Homo-oligomer: A and B are copies of this chain.
């Protein structure tokens, strides 16, 4: 049997408390005794207090859970997610806390909440979840600190994010100011149609995910204000947030007449795919067709993409801080980070 505190205590001839102190509060006993205990422990093959037992007693797990929908592997593929996790990791590291990655199945109701109920963590970071996801209720029930990237009515969760709609409103105004009137918006709308292709979105409210919903709303508002009716705007859904999907969506838009003069994508990855399609047709981005993205991932700079910059790593970092010790004042539990429109080479005056 593996040795326990008791084993060591017996071997040295002291009580458990003393052995415990030897590990957790070295200042509570003489250096000499502590040495004897540690030596005996090493001899017995005792590796130190059991983390689980310690967690139970101390009421601290030493980990924060990160909730994802879909396959966990998605988290590693999306550049925005990588940046976000990087920031989250940096504050976790600082707080001597690990990151527990928790995939949330979408199909099975049971599997969708189990990770939330079973995770040994001190808090949760909700990366991205649709409003109807059952895990949301489970989360609330566990009563642990939660931080999310969106505000949900009635939720106790902290918020660290950006004003999504304001960000795309700026982008929309930019395009309108350049004279664009025929526009299209490409996004992962998670509509009933799970495939890449045109969809009709009567109102942004129909979109399941907060992020895309708000971003779409921003565009709608800017265009409406600029005199471009929403009904004239083509919306194309992609099955996945991938570069190839962006290209496929753009292919649809570019191959029909009249071609839009500007295509807004709700993520940079999609926008880069759009650029691929534009170039593949011998069209010049920023001249024949303007393209705007969202996120400002590293490749956006390289490829000269006009996009909305958002502080991805900082979002992660601040989320971690809020989880590590949640402020008592609710006002401090909501952080809105700034975004900026970065105009590069892919947006220009509408062709006449």
The answer on a CB contact under 8 Å between B98 and A100 is yes
- Cβ–Cβ < 8 Å partners of A61 in chain B: 52, 120
Residue ID in chain B nearest A63 by CB atoms: B100
> Which stretch from A29-37, A135-143, A193-201, A229-237 is at the chain B interface?
A135-143
Partner of A143, one of B2, B72, B103: B2
Residue ID in chain B nearest A81 by CB atoms: B76
The answer on a CB contact under 8 Å between A98 and B89 is no
Residue ID in chain B nearest A96 by CB atoms: B114
The answer on a CB contact under 8 Å between B118 and A62 is yes
- Give A99 to B114 CA distance when docked, in angstroms: 15
Interface residue? A352 (CB, 8 A) = no
The answer on a CB contact under 8 Å between A117 and B47 is yes
Partner of A89, one of B73, B82, B92: B73
- Cβ–Cβ < 8 Å partners of A47 in chain B: 117, 138, 141-143
> What's the dominant secondary structure at chain A's contact region?
helix
The answer on a CB contact under 8 Å between B120 and A62 is yes
Smallest CB separation, A76 vs chain B (Å): 4
Interface residue? A53 (CB, 8 A) = yes
- Give A103 to B88 CA distance when docked, in angstroms: 12
Interface residue? A55 (CB, 8 A) = yes
- Cβ–Cβ < 8 Å partners of A71 in chain B: 89-90, 93
- Give A98 to B77 CA distance when docked, in angstroms: 18
The answer on a CB contact under 8 Å between A101 and B76 is no
The answer on a CB contact under 8 Å between A73 and B86 is yes
- Cβ–Cβ < 8 Å partners of A52 in chain B: 52, 55-56, 61, 120
- Cβ–Cβ < 8 Å partners of A92 in chain B: 72
Most buried by B among A52, A89, A96, A119: A52
- Cβ–Cβ < 8 Å partners of A2 in chain B: 143
Beta-carbon contacts of A128-158 to B below 8 Å, as 1s and 0s? 0000000000100111000000000000000
